[in-house]
Structure 1
Amino acid sequence: MLTWKKNTPMHTPLVARCLRGLETVVAAEVLGSKLGAVTELRHREVHFRTRQSVPSLRTADDVFLLAAEGPDVGTTRHTLRDLVALAELTDTDRLLSVRRGARASARDITGVEVSASFLGRRTFTRYDVEDVVGQALARRLGLPYHARRKGTAPPPGCCGWRLTLDGTRATLMLRVDDRPLHRRPYKQHTIAGTLHPPLAAAMAELAGIRPGDRVLDPCCGAGTLLIEAALARPGARFHGFDLSPASVTAARANAGDLPVRVRRGDAGRLPLPDACVDRVLCNPPWGAQVQAQGLIAVDPARWWTELRRVLAVDGTAVLLLPDIEDLATALRHDFTPAHVQRLRLAGAQVFLVCLVPTPSASPARGRPCGASAPGPPEAIDPAGQASA
């Protein structure tokens, strides 16, 4: 049976979409931010109710108003017409009214677009689903429908709808804002392998950054991890290194006025003293999207050696690893896993891990933070330019 949950704006039912594996992290952000009550966790979805008009979730890809739910229509194309009932059941006037009150902008709606996804094998495509639901919504609203089938971007002012089929339910949702949450305004410059911002926010959250902590990303790329951490914990100190001049330029531009210092440096021999970093956030260049450069390209173990050297005895490193077997490498370099979580990122399996130094094997005990590192390969001036 199709249902629509009628609620006052003070108890609006919402759905946060996220990466597979981050559902509990998003739920924790909802609860920790006192946005409302979590009602259900599903595949890539966190359902919750809120008393706030504009929920701000940094670990979610997007946030939607729950429009209608019904049974999954099955696997064959001829049942797609059953999805029209979802559009007919939706109280569009009410949803659009709530959306107008929650949006940051006041742009008029010019059209309808739908993004669909489903679990399992089907005899239809996502575009077939989008067209059926989108055309039905467009008729109800008296607006043009923008099809995504040809890959063209929707025109300004299109309201975004989302339809999911999870094998049990068909769920129709309306995006709260004009653009997805994962499209961060600060990210004006990008490079190959740049990290998904909500995942970077989740990593920063798991790191437990404290006021005054020194936070390091030794392979910072476009700076996404450090920027997300600085936005969440502005009282800490953030330092990034990258051997690529293009990455350093992109990271500095993206960081803008945030307290993030980015310099050029080799992750295999960082110009930092021993044991002076409290938190490390990193998506290392293991070769899937970005090839390692410098010393770690010749000897990948140097990455782990440097990480162990600069991390404080009570420090934490939050990393993305492509294979669970990489934990064996971490153990050999005197790290102990404190948290391991499997994720799906761009269709691939990755592991989000928190590592702490093994207490019995601290290599830098007693050296004060600020002492000179032994034999740095290069000096780096305050502007961040390397000199031999």
Structure 2
Amino acid sequence: MSRVSNALPFFALTTAGLEAISAQELARLPHITSQTLSYRRLSGTCQGDLASLCTLRTIDDVFLELATWREIGRPRSSLEWLRHLAFALDLHEAVAHLARLRAIRRFPQFSLSVSFVGKRNYTSEEIKEVLAKVLEYTHRGWLYQRDDRQADLNVRVFLEQDVATVGVRISKTPLHDRFYQQVHLPGALKPSVAAALVMLAQITSTTTVLDPCCGSGTILIEAALQGACACGGDSNPTAVAAAQTNVTAAGVAVPIFHWDATSLPQACASIDRVITNLPWGRQVSVETALPVLYRRLCTQMRRVLAPAGRLVVLTHDPALLDPLDVSCVEQIEISLFGQRPTILVFSPTSGKNVKGDQ
């Protein structure tokens, strides 16, 4: 791991499509320099406290950068090349930095995470097997742990084309694993994506936030943790119970209601921000046809939205959205659970039309 003027190199992984949003959040931290963006990845150097990197909300995971390996081809012979490169990998200096943040055993257990884009003549599991054997040999007393939850350290290999970026996770667990997630439901939104929606909503400590289709409550919790006065509900009693449990675990005051989102109880023009992950009819079934449901939801969301409000929606069917007299000012396609949903930001100010809406 190279160091220049006490600057520690790092890289962070985010959801595909959210790279620019995560870069904005990262830029707010002090002592962060030399940011570069690529597919799902941001990199830079940290000259301050590494703990600040663990406060990022839109990031999935963050790592101290250990090495950059090149000429990693598609043939199976690349496994031997990876084995050769791994012998030069030394985790001791990185662990010394991490030990200032959290307790790490003298002879830690380590897990391995490997990801790559495109087809290769070997698998991520085969890469793990090669690297595990080398690291156990070069780091005497260290043990490979297949279960990341039981490991003290996670070594990450992010392979893009013929270049592999290697790092060790700064936090004990991935940043997208939130402590408040006590109950998980099908279709639940990844917390880092929920945080990105909240960031796009541009909230402040005096902002009122509504999620009319709250599911297990992730958007509301992320908004409340950033200081907003949030409330929401769902038509599914199971989702309402899950959201209430997660809200309690998060330690935030967020009322959760069992309601019909097409007939909201809020007064007209009473909500500063409406942020929601609309039903897609995939992981969560809906009884009403999506065009009809979306039209009814848009009518209600627009009715309760304040004159200078902002509406942020995640949906798989952006062309179905018609929030009346507000305009789409930002549109971002992301990759999520094998789907390509779209984030749309609406505002009363002039903007651009939604794709597919002629």
What TM-score, normalized by structure 2, do the two folds share? 0.90
Equivalent residue number for residue 3 of structure 2: 6
Task: Tell me the residue number matched to 1:319.
Answer: 313
Looking at structure 1, the residues matched to 88 and 335 of structure 2 have their Cα atoms a distance apart, in angstroms, of 33
Matches within 5 A, 1:160-239: 160-232=154-226, 234=227, 236-239=228-231
Q: Percent identity?
A: 32
1:32 aligns with 2:28: yes
- Equivalences for residues 116-131 of structure 1 within 5 A: 116-131=114-129
* Partner residue of 1:41 out of 32, 37, 44: 37
Please name the residue that 1:339 is paired with. 330
* 2:264 paired with 1:270: yes
Is 2:223 aligned against 1:240? no
Superposition map of 1:89-168 within 5 A: 89-103=88-102, 105-106=103-104, 109-142=107-140, 143-147=142-146, 153-154=147-148, 156-168=150-162
Pair 1:298–1:320, CA change in 2 (3 A): closer
Distance, in Å, in 2 between the alignment partners of 1:120 and 1:299 is 38
Match of 1:19, as an amino acid? Answer: T
Q: CA 1:295–1:219 in structure 2 vs 1: closer, same or farther (change >3 Å)?
A: farther
Q: 1:106 to 1:71 in 2, by over 3 A?
A: closer
Name the CA distance, whole Å, in 2 between partners of 1:185 and 1:245: 23
Amino acid across the alignment from 1:65? L
Match of 2:355 in 1: none
Q: How many Å separate the matches in 1 of 2:149 and 2:293? A: 49
Question: Do 2:212 and 2:261's aligned partners in 1 also have CA atoms closer than 8 Å?
Answer: yes
Name which of 275, 283, 291 aligns with 1:281: 275
Greater displacement, 203-212 / 135-144: 135-144
Distance 1:47 1:251 in 2: 34
- From the superposition, tell whether residues 340 and 45 of structure 1 become closer, same or farther in structure 2 (CA, over 3 Å): same
Query: Gapped runs of 5+ residues in structure 2?
Result: 351-358
Q: TM-score, normalised by structure 1?
A: 0.83
Give the secondary-structure state (helix, strand or coil) at the position aligned to 2:221.
helix
2:17 pairs, out of 10, 21, 29, with 21
Q: Distance in 1 between matches of 2:171 and 2:107?
A: 11
| Structure 1 runs of 4+ with >3 Å offset | 105-110, 293-300
Q: Could you say what secondary structure the match of 2:306 adopts?
A: strand
Q: Render the CA deviation track for 1:4-50: whole Å, top value 9, x for unaligned.
A: 52346x41111111111111111111111325114311211110211
Amino acid at match of 2:283: Q
Confirm or deny that 1:352 pairs with 2:306. Answer: no
Structure 1, unmatched stretches of 5+, are 148-152, 360-388
Measured at CA, do residues 295 and 163 of structure 1 come closer, stay the same or move farther in structure 2, by a change above 3 Å?
closer
Structure 1 residue aligned with 2:68:
69
Distance (Å, rounded) in 1 between the aligned partners of 2:79 and 2:215: 44
Rg larger for: 1
Distance change >3 Å, CA 154–CA 212, structure 1 → 2: closer
CA distance in 2, matches of 1:352, 1:34: 28
Indicate the residue corresponding to 2:50 in structure 1: 53
Shift of 1:112: 2.2
Distance 1:296 1:306 in 2: 15
Query: 1:251: which partner in 2?
Result: 243
- The root-mean-square deviation of aligned C-alpha atoms, in Å, is 2.1
Secondary structure of 1:101's counterpart equals: coil
